[in-house]
Amino acid sequence: MGLGEGAQRRIAVVLADVLGEPLDVALAVAAFIDRYLRRVPFQAALGLRFVTWAITWLPLFFVGVPLPAHLLSTETRLRYVERWSHARFYFLREGFYLLKAIALMGWGAEPVVRARLGVGPMAAVRP
């Protein structure tokens, strides 16, 4: 199970707003999520894939706009994601944090991000 190219492009637009990163970094993070989905056990992949789908396609139920998340205005999209992150319903809120957690693993591995934070390259240290 993975994320098709279209799904990657759609969720990348959302991730760019969540992470405050340019779209090229967000696309790299979306590609990371695709690779992650292909490696983890099916049940975990299914959960994350469902969250990715839901965050992409459910703005109608959160902000009342009948458009997918990547087509919202930036302002509306941020309001939409904010509602996921503060949702009263536990599984919605945790769904957002699950996506954020996995996205951050891809984000934290990006050389441009690591250089900006001064944390050095990801490559292993050797004796």
Exposed (0-12), middle (13-18) or buried (19+): which is 104, by Cβ within 10 Å?
middle
Under rule CB under 8 A, which residues in 36-95 are in contact with another protein?
A: 36, 39-41, 43-44, 78, 81-82, 85-86, 90, 93-94
CA distances from 110 to 6, 26, 68, 97 (A): 22, 10, 27, 20
**Binders of another protein in range 92-121 (CB under 8 A):** 93-94, 97, 100-101, 104-109, 113-114, 117-120
Give CA separation, 66 vs 61, 63, 69, in Å: 9, 9, 9
Please state the closest distance from residue 41 (CB atom) to another protein, in A. 5
Q: Would you count residue 126 as binding another protein (CB under 8 A)?
A: yes
Q: Which is nearer to another protein, 36 or 62 (CB)?
A: 36
35: how many CB neighbours lie within 10 A of its CB? Answer: 11
Binding interface with another protein (CB under 8 A): 17-21, 36, 39-41, 43-44, 78, 81-82, 85-86, 90, 93-94, 97, 100-101, 104-109, 113-114, 117-120, 122-127
